[in-house]
Amino acid sequence: MTPADRRPRPRNLQQRSTLAGEAAAAATEVESALTPPSDPGAAAFFDVDNTVMQGASIFHLARGLHRRNFFTTRDILGAAWKQAYFRVVGVEDPEHVAEARSSALSFIAGHTVAELEELGEEIFDEGMAHRIWPGTRALAQLHLDEGQRVWLVTAAPIEIAQIIARRLGLTGAMGTVSEHVDGVYTGQLVGDMLHGPAKGEAVKALAAREGLDLRRCSAYSDSYNDLPMLSLVGDPCAINPDARLRAHAREQGWRIRDYRTGRKALRAGLVAGGIAGAATGTVAAGLALRGRRR
């Protein structure tokens, strides 16, 4: 057997998605309320970007970290350009895909979990709190009032997702899990980013752990990419949907809620696959450039 044969084989997309989902479910915080929920078999799952919050949470995090000199403007623009080109042209360099997957979030390598959590609290106050959609927050509160638990499910780092959930009084959050050893980030992900199929895996893993009946659960998202999560539950709802999700929701008879103005909703539907989508998926991944230059 040659040395090449002994090297570990890369996991395929399904394996990475499953691992990312299971890691997110395992890392999620469960509510610390003294009394248990009165309806423990049902829950609600909310996407964050453009569903709970206007814009991409990873972008607001990146901007806040940029102001604190974590990386350069050139780094973030380079990452956004690669993804925007793919979204518009429809062709992505396979090397870019592999690079983004292997180095996503490595810009925090060497930093501590405590440091990111502390900065995350500051960044939420300065760049995220005022962007929460009141309508979506009211929907989440309705589930809480009915004695159900409410989790966020997002591609953003789980540390930031948990801050958002805590500030909104929700049960907990599932997000992308970055590996850390003794409280220091290694620059690697556990599995993949919590996106698309990985969100479905996270919800299934959490439901199994918490004894949830997914037929009685609800899920909310703005993106067609979240069909793996939306299709799992008995009560899916499209919030501020992109064009593909709106069409699918209408075909399936799903609820649709749009909290944008008419003009903003139209514009969002036309460019949902462009810059807005790019922000969540690869701004963080491209920020790894700084980590390699340090």
Residues with a known catalytic role: 47, 49
Number of neighbouring beta carbons within 10 Å of residue 92 = 15
- Torsion of Cα atoms, 70 then 73 then 78 then 81, to 10°: 120
Burial 154-188 (b: 16+ CB within 10 A, else e): bbbbbbbbbbbbbebebbbbbbbbbebeeebbebe
- How large is the C-alpha radius of gyration of the chain? 19
Can you tell me the distance from the alpha carbon of 212 to that of 234, in angstroms, rounded to the nearest whole number? 12
Asked if 270 and 243 count as a contact pair (C-beta separation under 8 A), the reply is: yes
Map residue 88 onto helix, strand or coil.
Answer: helix
Q: What are phi and psi of 232, to 5 degrees?
A: -75, -30
Asked if 207 and 194 count as a contact pair (C-beta separation under 8 A), the reply is: no
